[in-house]
Chain A
Amino acid sequence: MNSARKLKLEVSETEDNLKMDSSDKLAGYFYKIVNHEELFKIGKGLLLEVEKGVKNFAFTSTGYKNSQQRTILGLCCFFDQNASYKICIVSDHLSQGVFKDLIDSSSLNSYSIGSGEDIVKYKSFHHHFDFIDYSELSKFYGNHLYTKTFDAEVASILSRYDIILWDIPEMEKMKQNPHFHYRVSHFYESLTVIVSQSTSSGKQVEFIKNFFSNYNINLNGVLFDTSSLKERPKRRKILGIF
């Protein structure tokens, strides 16, 4: 946490104006949230975990990427409003989806690893959060197959942040590259599964649970996504009831 605060102090005065703009943007997201009470409930729970020393929070779902990203974005807004944490978001879906707008406003940076042979690129949103793509880690992993360097280097990168929010890829993608994900999954300290109301099935949830159990990661909590119902186009009710 101290290192993160130090990083913040290093921010130059010229960037202050930009930061003000970015804060407004984040505040915009924050106030656009419909169910604040739910966000506070989740946020508070995570804060307690953070205070206990947990900083890697992974989010998976039964195939609802948008839900995962909305949760992560909401938590980012929550943490940005309540405490000044250095937050990192690791996702495989940065250029599209919820984060697209933020990514567009972010600046590209990179971490040099080792003697500078490898770099891990990331995008920084005005020092509020950093976005790292899974593909960057995968690329780095490709250069260091079957070594412990990958774990150590990734750990050193993650150590720069107070909170790391993992936007876990879909199961199909994970199955395509199981070794990489196995190695990355070692960093997941808390795993929350997002279940979509009326859409997700018990089998899917069981599958995810079993999948991560095999990776020796236990599920810590469940988030309920009701937006799938709300997002459906409204049809005319028959007799005003059905």
Chain B
Amino acid sequence: MNFFRQFTALLSMSLSGVRQRVGSVLTIIIGVTSAVAVLVSMLAMGSGARRQVLAGVREDRVVVNTHGASGIQSTIPRDQADAVRDLPGIKKGADGKPVVDFQSIVIIEARRRITARRTFFPVIGVTRPPFADAQSELHLTEGRAFRPGLHEIIASTPCDRQLSGFAIGDKRPIGGADWTVVGHYDEGDVQQCVVLADAEILMSTYNNNSYTQATATLESPADYAVLQRALEQNPTLHLEVRHEAEAREEGIKGLHNLLNFAAYFVGSIMAIGATLGAVNSLYSIVDARRREIGTLRAIGFGSAPVAASILCESILLALPGALLGVLLAWALFHRMAVSPFGFSFLLDVTPRLAVIGVVWALAMGLIGGLLPALRAARVPVTTALRAT
């Protein structure tokens, strides 16, 4: 109890003296602020990329592709399509047919609107009309859907915003044929340009006899195991099934890891710098208060409460830095559109990242306060009183 009373008295004393030590206090706060702001805004890239990729993922939807391959490497020969449709566990639509969409994916190059730089976007040929399901995540914003059997495409709204040649009525050469843009659609916050077309027309343009992959809606999420077992027992199919979330996350794994590695790498170095700055400032605060601390020790304050109060002061000074850093990252970068490596998405400063930033700052305060707290605790009573 005595410890606690001494500790609170000391802490309120050091906090009331903050105004006389503006320089040192600001050094700690600014250092922590910049370290936390950089860490949080860089982590927001990884979380934004992940959020976009997982947008609209449904638990009862699965992706079927070649065993061991993913993305555009996968192939499902056209003659295996019926075998896939007949797999057990797949939901039947209103028309009584299984809800399976075969997709043929081609990567096409385009030019950015402003910089005229080259970039790539996927054209996805689909076998099911894109707005057929009532619960579809896609919404037509302008124009109409493509008509099967015609060289028509619909583009997501980011295409028109970022790239040239995507206005309604524009003609684009894809695979040697001219395709007309007949509609725009959007899919939540997704920033990536994706173009949809009729799979059969796209495949005949490219003389291709295989789909790239298939997505299927299950009767219920529990039917996943049924479908998986059926595929394993059918070696002629060479296919595997994965949850939609898992399949999509794999596509982003490399980028996500790279972005997070960069964030923690830069964030750690900045945290080390900020901690060093905090140690220095706290040392000078302790030095400036040597006489005061010595006097307090002389009138009976213990060394443990002195050390604890310095440590606590350090953590308390790091906290505003943390909040300021998170706020700065949020104000400057939240929902900012970026496109590293040609993949466009919005930065996303989530509560989880804010917590990481605060924890990071607390660690800086704690580590930075340790040595100065020890020095304060060891201030000898007599020398302190003699000091000028």
- Indicate whether A and B interact: no
A interface residue numbers (CB < 8 A to B): none
